[in-house]
Structure 1
Amino acid sequence: MAIINTAIKPFRAEAYKNGKFITVTEADLSGKWAVFFFYPADFTFVCPTELEDIADNYDEFVRLGVEIFGVSTDTHFSHKAWHDTSPAIGKIRYALLGDPTATLSRNFDVLRVDEGLADRATFLVDPDGVIQFTEVTAEGVGRNAQELLRKIRSAQYVRAHPGEVCPAKWEEGEITLTPSLDLVGKI
């Protein structure tokens, strides 16, 4: 996956958000942080637990200036039906993008071509439209919104503080590192 530090590719997707169908394009992301949260399919098992976890933490994502886009190869119509029938999915206030042509799944290189489904994958896109973070997990391994929030805070800190980096398990307010010749071999 040589996708880190590359710009997202143009796209146009129909989505379901807050009781409405909307169209989302890469232009809508300009100047904003965004998370693309790919999952295999609506009406499944691990997927609703992850999407609900994001929904339960959505206010914190918004506080950080991050918009969430849930993406599967289902249609926006399927997303609405799932939203209307599942208590977990009914909590969602972020956009669920339909990707029936697999344009987004191909753009982010997460399409399982032989199945027509997206991998379980997460991408953080910075305000310049550049991918800063990606995570892909196996089908049965769910993701964690709190860990995603920690990584977003780290990426935002590094962007705001050029020359500094965040060590493992870094939390907001903790000490960062400033790479230099003097630091080599001292960690």
Structure 2
Amino acid sequence: MGIIGSTIKPFKATAFQAGKDFFDVTDEDVKGNWAVFFFYPADFTFVCPTELEDLAEQYDALKGMGVEVYSVSTDTHFSHKAWHDTSEKISKISFPMLGDQLHTISNNFGVLREEMGLADRATFLVDPDGVIQVMEITCEGVGRNAKELVRKIKAAQYVRENPGQVCPAKWEEGSDTLAPSLDLVGKI
């Protein structure tokens, strides 16, 4: 499935966000800004709260980079609120939590495990044009690292802002980049 470079598909979902009423989010709301769609299998589980807490700890940095975060599971927005209100880790979240009980978003991104009705553990970075630039999918038992996500976002933003440049492995902001050319073939 060639999802990198594809445009996100239409969706509408109800979100829970701390300090706000429930509200709808659509694909049109996402365009014009960088966005992370952070899929996880289910509320009230085990690895998921550790990942979401880790992501919550990076949320201010991400907002400073012009990135909005949307966590997504096939639970309802009501379940997200109940989890937020009862879990020490989840209570730290201030980004929107999308309810995808109709499985529209999970299907759109190709991460729905239909036999279970749950989303895979998956992350997608969407650019301001609505184009998917980065994706990561892990098995259910392997949690993600939000600091590595921040690094990948910085690299994707750099590449967008600097056409003709690419970021090598382990690239960190301020490090050298590469300008692909025939002169580099076989010399790296």
The TM-score range, normalised by the shorter chain, is: over 0.9
Alpha-carbon deviation of 1:57?
A: 1.0
Q: Give per-residue Cα distances to partners, 1:109-158, cap 9 Å, x unaligned.
A: 00000000000000000000000010000100000000000000000000
Q: Secondary structure at the match of 2:22?
A: strand
| Counterpart in the other structure of 1:63 | 64
Which range moved further: 21-30 or 72-81?
21-30
Distance in 2, Cα, partners of 1:85 & 1:29: 29
| Counterpart in the other structure of 1:17 | 17
Q: Give per-residue Cα distances to partners, 1:85-121, cap 9 Å, x unaligned.
A: 0010001000000000000000000000000000000
Tell me whether 1:140 sits opposite 2:146 in the alignment.
no
Give the gaps of 5 or more residues in structure 1. Answer: none
| Counterpart in the other structure of 2:159 | 158
| Counterpart in the other structure of 1:116 | 117
Q: Give per-residue Cα distances to partners, 1:37-73, cap 9 Å, x unaligned.
A: 0000000000000000011111000011000000000
Distance in 2, Cα, partners of 1:64 & 1:171: 15
Question: Equivalent pairs: percent with the same residue?
Answer: 69
Tell me whether 1:107 sits opposite 2:136 in the alignment.
no
Distance in 2, Cα, partners of 1:132 & 1:88: 29
2:2 aligned partner, one-letter code: A
Which range moved further: 14-23 or 125-134?
14-23
Alpha-carbon deviation of 1:22?
A: 1.0
Distance in 1, Cα, partners of 2:35 & 2:18: 18
| Counterpart in the other structure of 2:3 | 3
Which range moved further: 171-180 or 18-27?
18-27
Distance in 2, Cα, partners of 1:93 & 1:181: 47
Which range moved further: 17-26 or 128-137?
17-26
| Counterpart in the other structure of 2:92 | 91
2:12 aligned partner, one-letter code: R
| Counterpart in the other structure of 1:28 | 29
Q: Secondary structure at the match of 1:44?
A: coil
Tell me whether 1:38 sits opposite 2:39 in the alignment.
yes
Distance in 1, Cα, partners of 2:42 & 2:63: 25
Distance in 2, Cα, partners of 1:121 & 1:30: 20
Alpha-carbon deviation of 1:30?
A: 1.7
| Counterpart in the other structure of 1:185 | 186
TM-score of the superposed pair, with normalisation by structure 2: 0.99
Q: Secondary structure at the match of 1:57?
A: helix
